[in-house]
Structures are given as C-alpha cells and as structure tokens.
Amino acid sequence: MRSIPYGKQEIDSKDIAAVVDALQSDFLTQGPRILAFEKAFAEYVGARYAVAVSNGTAALHLAALALDVNEQSNVITTPITFAASANCIRYCGGKVTFADIDPKTATLDVASVKALLEASPKGTYTGIIPVDYAGYPVDLEAFRKLADEYGLWIIEDACHAPGGYFTDSKGEKQFCGNGKFAELAIFSFHPVKHIACGEGGIVTTNDPALYDRLLLLRTHGITKDPAKLQENHGGWYYEMQDLGFNYRLTDFQAALGLTQLEKADKGLARRREIARYYTEQFAGTNVDTSVADNGEGHAYHLYVIKVKNRKQLYDKLREHHIYAQVHYIPVHTLPYYQGLGYGKGQYPLAEAFYEECLSLPMYPGLSQEDLDFVIQTVLQYA
C-alpha cells in the first residue's frame, strides 16, 4: 500500500556524494562549505549576507537577540504559524502580541496590525514577525510603511517561502528574504521544507552590523578576529564579547544544502505545477482553494484547502494512507500561551480558518498518479 505524506525531501545521488565528500574532508563542523552555502543562499534570495545555523528556531532566536529583544520588548505576530515564530520572543523574555489574519491569504493582516498600533501609545510595540504562510509572500512593503511610522523592526519568517516573491508598488519582484523591507529574514532546512539539510536554518540580511552580530552570537559570542579584540595575548587568544549560543551548522549539512539549492528552482516549478493542477481539479466542487490561489510568486510549501468536514476528510484520507496535515493550531490557543493569558475567541478569523484548513500532499517528487489518487479521494469525501 502506497503512503503519501504532506511533504517530503528529495535526496538524489548527487546529494549523497556531496555529503560523503564532506565527511571525508578535514572539516565536520564549520568548514569551507558553510561559507559557500551562505553565499549561494544569499544570492538565491537576493540578500547581501546569510548566516547558517543549526535550525530555523535557532535562526529566529538569533534574529531576536541581534535586534536586542528583551523583557521590555513587545512583538506582534500571527496566530497561524508554527509556535517557534512566537517562541523566539519568549526566549528573550519579551511579550508576544498576536494580531488576526487576513482570511483571504491566512497571513498576518496589515490592517489588524495597524489597528493594534493605533490603539496604543507609540513605543508600546518593538517589532513585527510576519510569516510567509504556506509560501504566500506577505506584502512586506506595506508592513515596512507601518514599521517606519511606529519605529519597529521586522523579522520575516520565510521558512515556507524560499524562491517566493511579491510584486511591490513599482511593479518589481521582491523575493522573500531579500532584506529590502525587513531587517532580518529566517529560513528552515527541516526535511519538509523546500531545501533539506536534516536540520538547519539561515538568517539573511543586508545590514553589515546585524551580520557581524549574528556571526558572533552563533558561536557563544566568542571572536578570534584580531580586528575585533579588545586585548590580544597571542595566537590562542579569544574574547567572549556577548552571551551567545552554539548554533552552528555542520559542514556536511552545508554540503547537502548546496546540492539541494541547485535543485531549488526545479522543485519550485514542480510545486507550482502541482498547485495549478489541484486548483483546476477542485474548481466548482466543495473544496475551497481560495487561500492557495493567491499570487503568482507563491512558493507552495503547503497547498492548503478549506472544507466544512475537515476532521472527517482528514480521517478518510488517512484510511487511504494519504497523510494530509493541519497547519496550524492557532498559537494563542496552545496551553503555554493560554498560560500567558491568551485564549480561544480572541482571534476569530484565525480560529475560523483553523476549523476548516487542511494541507494536501505537496512536494516535487509527488507523482502524477499519486496526485490524481489524492484528488480523487478528496473529492469522494469532501
């Protein structure tokens, strides 16, 4: 019996050869492949700098630290995301404030963020973390306008959207993570994401000061760079200048990242092709594809449908070994966040979306036969 997950990595002989090559080299952790991968990834998204780290959550944590998030910080994010988008603020002792989604895209609604900002004195909030949910690139130009007006920074959580872009007011394509409108952007290389490193993450930016800070924080806050030392006792000498972490990626993971990146455009094209096919096949049925149909620059980490009988459909698909998923349980309703005073009923649009959303299988290696089987099974029960 075939089994069809909602997402899956693509590992080919070239990937394997690259990892074996790295394992046989002198470097297991931080070697030459890290910098090569960072350069290639920065170029892919159109940013000046990239700092590779051990996972996407570490990338979020370092991004928050680099922007000096602390107990006084109050940061706005969306309830429809993976918990890590909010948790990074809590790691630094800051307060998380949620704002509701735009139901057309299921991403953080600029209008609800604006309403929140207008309802409090200036200085109440410190930053915004919009998420390119499912691969739909949020309009960062609109968020930047608000952020500038209220003196906020932006971390773009672009885990779902490498290769995605939105079109700005001048008609130019703005690629997710290019650093044009956000101080920092972060990506994950978890196997269900576009590029798989096993575990892995990266922060991109155009700001040289933030780049230096991220490099320092990734390795315990320790530097050996003679140009940056306050004293110098000799060749062995290093200084710990800040409280950092060990968030390094290994060289063999970076080797995998490099070969994965070579296939990224091909994989993205296939994701868009699968999305078009789903949308065509579901037209005029009980399956609402409106959230997935947004924008030509969509990167389709997920293909999310809405159905009235979501639980029944989910269970029926499982009986047929189709492992659809729900993204996401609204973060403010998770017990930890309820413990901080959040609760059901606070963000009704996010909660309504959660009741109906279902992520169908979406990955470059999904065969036409499996895709047709998924569609046929969904239509049988939706």
Residue 184 pairs in a beta bridge with 155
Active site (annotated) includes residue 263: no
Largest alpha-carbon pair distance within the chain?
A: 74
Site for ligand PLP in 70-129 (CB under 6 A): 81-82, 84-85
* Least distance between ligand PLP and beta carbon 72 (Å): 24
**Amino acid at residue number 296:** E
* Least distance between ligand PLP and beta carbon 56 (Å): 2
* Catalytic one of 193, 228, 308, 344: 193
Instruction: State yes or no: residue 257 binds ligand PLP (CB under 6 A).
Output: no
3-state secondary structure 116-183: HHHCCCCCCCCEEECECHHHCCCCHHHHHHHHHHHCCEEEEECCCCCCCEEECCCCCEEECCCCCCCC
Among 18, 19, 52, 55, binds ligand PLP (CB under 6 A): 55
**In this complex, which beta carbon is closest to ligand PLP, that of residue 302 or of residue 313?**
302
Binding residues for ligand PLP, rule CB under 6 A, total 14
Tell me which residue of 274, 266, 267 sits closest to 362, measured CA to CA.
Answer: 274
**In this complex, which beta carbon is closest to ligand PLP, that of residue 47 or of residue 84?**
84
Residue 178 pairs in a beta bridge with none
The three-class DSSP label of residue 323 is strand
CA distance 231 to 235: 12
Instruction: State yes or no: residue 201 binds ligand PLP (CB under 6 A).
Output: yes
* Least distance between ligand PLP and beta carbon 149 (Å): 26
The three-class DSSP label of residue 331 is helix
* Least distance between ligand PLP and beta carbon 193 (Å): 6
Closest residue to ligand PLP, Cβ-based?
Answer: 56
Which one of 45-53, 152-160, 253-261, 266-274 is the stretch in contact with ligand PLP (CB under 6 A)? 152-160
Q: Is 167 exposed, middle or buried (0-12, 13-18, 19+ CB in 10 A)?
A: middle
Instruction: State yes or no: residue 37 binds ligand PLP (CB under 6 A).
Output: no
* Least distance between ligand PLP and beta carbon 207 (Å): 21
Instruction: State yes or no: residue 244 binds ligand PLP (CB under 6 A).
Output: no
CA distance 130 to 152: 12
**In this complex, which beta carbon is closest to ligand PLP, that of residue 201 or of residue 297?**
201
CA distance 47 to 67: 18
Binding stretches for ligand PLP (CB under 6 A): 55-57, 81-82, 84-85, 131, 157, 159-160, 188, 190, 201
Question: Could you list the active site residues?
Answer: 193
